[in-house]
Amino acid sequence: MIGSLLSWLTDPANWSGSDGIPTRLLEHLTYALMTMVIAAAVALPLGLWIGHSGRMRWLVTATNAARAVPTLGLLFAASLLVGPVLKGDAAYLAPSIAVLVLLAVPPLLAGTYAGVEAVDPAARDAARGVGMTGWQVLRQVELPCALPLVMSGLRTAVLQVVATATIAAYIGLGGLGRYLVDGIALGDYPRAAGGALLVALLAIALEGLLALLQRRLVSPGLTGRGRRVGGSRNDDESVAAEANARTAVAPGGRPGTSS
């Protein structure tokens, strides 16, 4: 099976044309990007507002509960309702993107809300004490402090969307999922295994890129990267100097003796 999989991956015919790996990969990335742009436009402002104001917290719980709905069943229901209304590729694309957005919103909303909610109240009070407005507190204090959890929600949403976009091929969508659906339907298991491997590699690559992005965006003070394990060199020298001074001075205050 591994030999057949490698043969399929290295076959030049699978790297060209409308059904080639680059084309399917680009389609998959396009679906994921469209989904995340729409989901972020909805979830991020809403999560920031809920966390900042403390209102409508029930909405976060409700969206998390909606994640229990079977994605495949929801996908088929959306395609049956929306598909006949639209024409062409939009009949497959619109319901798929809508379902993927519903899947991506809960982790984004929960991460954003939790990040703002977890900000130290003392930091908010200090910001208001120097005359910051509510918008300035949100933008300059709460949002930077909330970035670790915001990015965590974003990474979770991206991985879920990339994985779930695969099953959208069942209703006629393109992307890497076509290899799995077509491979299983035709009994071409190397094709199906190759599609699954490509989806896994894409998810790992995106996770690595988002991890690097988080490292660039999040302040080192929030992650501890700015502190060396065991203290800095200046701290070590200060501790050593203090220890020498204690050794040199006896309890009675006389230098040069020890207890």
Does 256 map to a domain?
no
Does 259 map to a domain?
no
Does 128 map to a domain?
yes
In the predicted structure, residue 169 carries a pLDDT above the cut 80: yes
Does 20 map to a domain?
yes
Average pLDDT (144-157) is 91
Residue 63: band (very low, low, confident or very high) from pLDDT cuts 50, 70, 90: confident
pLDDT reported for residue 251: 46
Does 254 map to a domain?
no
* Residue 201 vs residues 51, 175, 177: alpha-carbon distances, Å: 35, 14, 13
Question: Which domain range does residue 44 map to?
Answer: 2-247
Owner of token pair 């100097």: 241
- The Cα–Cα gap between 159 and 31 comes to 13
pLDDT reported for residue 90: 81
Does 257 map to a domain?
no
Ranges of H-type helices in 20-88: 21-53, 58-65, 71-82
Nearest to 96 by CA among 75, 80, 69, 67: 75
- The number of helix segments (H) and strand segments (E) in the chain equals 12, 0
- Type of residue at 198: L
pLDDT reported for residue 223: 62
- Type of residue at 236: D
pLDDT in tens, 114-129: 998 888 888 888 888 8
- The Cα–Cα gap between 11 and 137 comes to 56
Nearest to 172 by CA among 99, 101, 92: 92
Q: 210 or 72, which is more confident?
A: 210
pLDDT in tens, 129-147: 888 887 888 888 888 888 9
Q: 238 or 110, which is more confident?
A: 110
- The Cα–Cα gap between 34 and 151 comes to 18
For residue 255, list its beta bridge partners.
249
Does 239 map to a domain?
yes
Average pLDDT (36-47) is 94
In the predicted structure, residue 37 carries a pLDDT above the cut 80: yes
pLDDT in tens, 83-107: 778 877 787 888 889 999 999 999 9
pLDDT reported for residue 113: 92
pLDDT reported for residue 202: 95
Owner of token pair 């204090």: 141
Q: 197 or 128, which is more confident?
A: 197
Residue 226: band (very low, low, confident or very high) from pLDDT cuts 50, 70, 90: low
pLDDT reported for residue 229: 45
- For the ranges 70-79, 141-150, 153-162, the lowest mean pLDDT is seen at 70-79
pLDDT reported for residue 124: 81
Nearest to 113 by CA among 190, 57, 192: 57
Total domains, the chain = 1
Does 258 map to a domain?
no
- The Cα–Cα gap between 49 and 32 comes to 25
Nearest to 49 by CA among 145, 143, 158: 143
Q: What is the CATH number of the domain that holds 224?
A: 1.10.3720.10
Q: What are the backbone dihedrals phi and psi of residue 249, each rounded to the nearest 5 degrees, phi first?
A: -110, 125
